[in-house]
Amino acid sequence: MKSGSFQPEFTQFGMLPGNSKSGPGQKGAQSLVRLRELAVEILAQAGHSKGPLEEAMTTVLSRESGATFQEFDRSWIFELCSGVLRYRGRLDFIIDTYSLKKKPTGEIRRFLQTGVFQLLAQDTPVALVVSECVQAIREMDGEAPSKFANAILRKVADSKEQWQNWKVTEQSPFEEQLAWCSLPEWFFKKLRKERGSPWTFAFSEAVLTRPNLWYRSGEDSSILHDGFRGDEPAGYVQDISNQLLVKEVIGEIEKLGWRQPRILDLCSAPGGKSLGLASAGFSVIATDIDEDRLEKVRENSVRLGLSAKIEIRPHASVWDGTDCYDLIWIDAPCSSTGIIRKHPEIKWNRGWHDVERLALQQEELIHWARAHLSPGGRILYSTCSMLKTENEPQLGSGMCFGRRMEWVPQLEPKGDGIHAVWIEMQKIQG
């Protein structure tokens, strides 16, 4: 049994964690009503495109010819949109609870989502939230919808404490459990079946919080509480779960006694795995099917002085080649359900059909790796998925799973959800 609540994401209206330049009382170049309208457009664009929230934001703001968007403006919009996407299941349930005659749709629902989120998850004055939402809806949809929105928001504000202390148990109605977890139905059902309700509740609650920004420099790892200041030592952003996985891989290589193993990072972009291995003194061949992202690996290796240890190869030359490797790391394309705290739009943009489609790619990568593995070699298969379906790929005869590793958002150090498993040739009994 787990309980949960809306936790304030900002310590004060306008103060954004991880961004020391946006402080209390600061204002942007655009009115907050206009920023809210843009946030609603971005939410619509993100839902239509099924792409990253950042891309939807870029698309919408680029249409505003002549508009000036200061750091405050962009931060305010992004935090509002990402907050709505994290809590959307709860927000919709609350809105529908008070919409007895007709459930709002389209932009009116999106305006209400932004308002309810701020009322329950931010320390923002009620009057300010209500007036902004009502004004925006009145200007875009007329007087009647604005009065409807005003009534809904006032009721939410009056019941604020009740919703902030909302709890569910395994005995709660299915609809309430689903809404409280703020997950799409297919994903909620899958997690509950594979891992049980307590695990699913804990995971769902954990991914409602904002993620830490982890920074790796040499052997040191730290959280950038105030965002980038510009005076950090040379390094790169890499979530703590991925850093721990790289550490485990290095330990396994040393345990095997490989002095100069031939290592292939098959899905390398943006390069954190290769950089970590190279920093430990190992030579790595890095490739990726996405050439633009592969260029990022090259840029990072040069910037950190590791280009002598990381050889960048075009994907086609590796895939069509005959070379064999001691270690092939497959950081497989997956549903990315382990990183929905960082990218909450993934929750609503993925479906079971995506999992089935990606499973074919995952099996193809393992089949290729098997054919390019040196005698006694190992495959490391990793995903940022929380679904067992994606973490137990079909191996075929002659291969077996070895040690598994997993990090989940609800447990220390509370990084991304990462699963990895060693794969090796099966020993012949005789």
CATH number at residue 401: 3.40.50.150
Decide if 323 is inside a domain.
yes
The band of 429, judged by pLDDT with boundaries at 50, 70 and 90, is: low
Cα 374 from Cα 323, distance rounded (Å): 9
pLDDT of amino acid 67:
80
Is the pLDDT confidence value at 65 over 80? no
Q: Are residues 244 and 380 located together in one domain of the fold?
A: yes
Residues β-bridged to residue 221: 216
Residue 347 has pLDDT above 90, yes or no: yes
pLDDT at 36 over 70: yes
Instruction: Identify the band that residue 280 occupies on the pLDDT scale cut at 50, 70 and 90.
Output: very high
268 and 246 Cβ atoms separated by less than 8 Å = no
In a domain, 27, yes or no: no
Which of 137, 163, 182 is at the close of a domain?
182
225 and 327 together in one domain: yes
The answer to whether residues 408 and 198 touch, using CB atoms and an 8 Å cutoff, is no
One domain, residues 371 and 226: yes
Mean pLDDT over residues 139-159, rounded?
95
3-state secondary structure (DSSP) of residue 356: helix
Residue 189 lies in a domain: no
Domain span including residue 166: 32-182
Beta carbons within 8 Å of 308's beta carbon, 6+ residues apart: none
Instruction: Give a yes or no: residue 6 inside a domain.
Output: no
Q: Give the residue among 382, 380, 391, 390 at the shortest CA–CA distance from 264.
A: 380
How far is it, in rounded angstroms, from Cα 258 to Cα 254?
6
Instruction: Please check whether residue 84 is in contact with residue 117, taking contact to mean a CB–CB distance below 8 angstroms.
Output: yes
Residue 253 sits at φ, ψ, to 5 deg, of: -60, -45
Helix or strand (DSSP H, E) at 194 = helix 185-195
The count of structural domains within the chain is 2
Token pair for 106: 């389209």
Nearest-angstrom CA–CA distance, 79 and 208: 13
d(CA 242, CA 399): 25
Let me know if residue 125 belongs to a domain: yes
CATH of the domain at 136: 1.10.940.10
pLDDT of residue 428: 55
- The 10s digit of each residue's pLDDT in 155-189 is 999 999 999 999 999 999 999 999 999 999 999 99
Please report whether residue 176 resides in a domain: yes
Residues 165 and 238 in one domain: no
Question: What's the first-to-final CA gap in the chain, in angstroms?
Answer: 49
Q: Rounded CA gap, 374 and 129, in Å?
A: 62
Q: What is the pTM of this model?
A: 0.90
The confidence band for 113, taking pLDDT boundaries of 50, 70 and 90, is very high
Residue 371 lies in a domain: yes
Over 80: is that where the pLDDT of 28 sits?
no
127 & 258 share domain: no
pLDDT average, residue stretch 144-150 = 96
Across residues 46-58, what is the average pLDDT? 95
Peptide bond into 393 cis (omega under 30): no
pLDDT at residue 31 in the model: 87
C-beta of residue 359 within 8 angstroms of C-beta of residue 352? no
* Digit-coded pLDDT (tens) for 357-414: 999 999 999 999 999 999 999 999 999 999 998 998 888 888 899 999 999 999 999 9
pLDDT for residue 27: 55
Query: Cβ contacts of residue 413 below 8 Å, gap of 6+?
Result: 240, 241, 244, 407
Q: How high is the pLDDT of residue 100?
A: 85
Three-state SS at 214: strand
- Verify that 242 and 368 share a domain, yes or no: yes
